[in-house]
Chain A
Amino acid sequence: MIALDSLTYAHSQGNLIFEDYSWKVDQGDAWAVLGPSGCGKTTLLYLLAGLRFPGRGQIFVDGQPLSRPRPHTGLILQDYGLLPWATVRQNAELGLRIRSFYGPDGKHSPEDFRPDVEVDPWLERLGLVPVADKYPGQISGGQRQRTAIARTLALKPDLLLMDEPFSSLDAPTRESLQNLTLELKAEEHLTLVIVTHAIEEAAVLGGKILLLQQPPNRQTIVIENPGVQEPDFRNSKEYFDQCRELRSMLEETQPS
């Protein structure tokens, strides 16, 4: 689904984030990208979203080299990226309206896009119907993030990228949205890449975990986390062991 091929990327200030870095994501995988602040997690996601471009090397998504945001990739950011002047329903419809605005040009919107897609089933699925006419400023953080999810999933993505999507939510809301993400991933046959700084979140969402280090990242460190498939993994010994291992690996990456 995703292939990073000897990628090199530096910030405009010259800080090298990735050097000759390669990585591969299979279709239907759930990946968590974990690492300390400033390690390049968000940069990696922006690269996958086609919002930034590598200095050297290439990114392939679904076999195609990436040169702009891809219509079948959905991106959800930490601060939800909702329009404050639009209601929940209007925000959920935004992606569809943008596609209708351009028409099925294959660039901004897929060639097979039909303008009759509706967001109502998504509002219902995500429990947003009671707040559909409210503005983002009037609803809770969890509802805002659900709105962002509805907006993205209404576009029928096959790849979902999430940048610390639940980090500003309280623990119960975070947990319920993590479960929801896993359910939706299974229902929609999504490939998922979620960036997080929380070890517990990586362990509960990532079937595979990509560990980033203090930049520049050269070595691809992957931790298998097969237990994530198990029911009630969150309360199992395996989960706590995984968290402990991740914590010690993360500590090793920190400069002393």
Chain B
Amino acid sequence: MKRRDLLLAILALIVAWQIAAWVVRRPILPPPLEVAAAFITGLQGDLVGHFLVSLWRVIASTALAIAVAAPAGLILGQSRRLNNIFSPVIYLVYPIPKVVFVPIVLLFFGLGDWPKIVIIFLILFFQILVLVRDQAAGLRPELVQSVRSLGAGRRALFRFVYLPASLPAILTALRQSVGTAVAVLYVAELYATQRGLGYYIYLNGSTLFNYPAMYAGIVAMSILGLSLYFTVDWMERRVTPWQNKY
């Protein structure tokens, strides 16, 4: 996508927002300029801190999910027997919206960062597991055989075939689920914490009734989601250049 088109889209959204604010004329929908001012004030205050906490939670859970789900997906993708054992469980659990587990995870993991990290981990884990497994299982047997004929045993197959083959699957999984992860992070940050953008939005909206600050929090959360999405997009183009060149 061209950068100019992207900027035009942002401009169009701001204009639509401004028009809506004029039409509604209520404090619950402040105009963009007012929110921008609140955003800048927030940056000088505690908004950055909340942003960083949320960012840390997403990054930690993503790293954890990749570290656990990618090897598990590779193993399941290579072993039909193990996959036959686990796939019914995955089939059942995969479609459940993980957000419903928030109360349970909170009960088990209590206060602090852990419950938030665990809940995002759960979302990403299944997405990565399933995509990496399918990618590894979908490798053509002829490809594996011809690499074996070059002398590759299990270790070299892993290093030269399965691992590089799983990279695009990991990135696709991240691209598909990063939005959901941020949304669920918001829900998770409504409870049992005083840090994070979810808390910041909720506090300003429902307790302090400072709507411009609430919107500034929403903008910050959108920036968080967008920048994660763009990062994955950028990595995908860098790490998997052959996919754009077919």
Contacts and interface: CB of A to CB of B under 8 A. Distances in A.
Contacts of B142: 77-79, 81
Interface in A101-155: 101-102, 108-109, 134-138, 148, 151-152, 155
Interface stretch (A1-9, A66-74, A176-184, A231-239): A66-74
21 contacts: A46-B145, A49-B145, A51-B148, A51-B149, A69-B151, A71-B151, A77-B145, A77-B146, A83-B160, A83-B164, A85-B165, A86-B242, A94-B160, A95-B150, A98-B152, A98-B156, A102-B153, A135-B241, A135-B246, A137-B242, A155-B151
B152, B165, B168, B240: most-surrounded residue (chain A CB, <10 A)? B152
A77 B142 CA distance: 7
A55 interface: no
A155 B242 contact: no
Given A83-B164, A137-B245, A138-B245, A99 B151 contact: yes
Given A77-B142, A102-B156, A135-B245, A95 B164 contact: no
Interface residues of B, number: 26
Contacts of A152: 150
B160 A98 contact: yes
Nearest to B153: A108
Contacts of B149: 49, 51, 69, 73-75
A85 B159 contact: no
Given A108-B153, A138-B246, A69 B160 contact: no
Interface string B113-151: 000000000000000000000000000101101111111
B246 A137 contact: yes
Given A135-B242, A152-B150, 18 more contacts: A49-B149, A51-B145, A51-B149, A69-B149, A69-B150, A75-B146, A77-B146, A81-B142, A82-B143, A83-B164, A95-B150, A98-B151, A101-B159, A134-B245, A137-B242, A138-B246, A155-B150, A155-B151
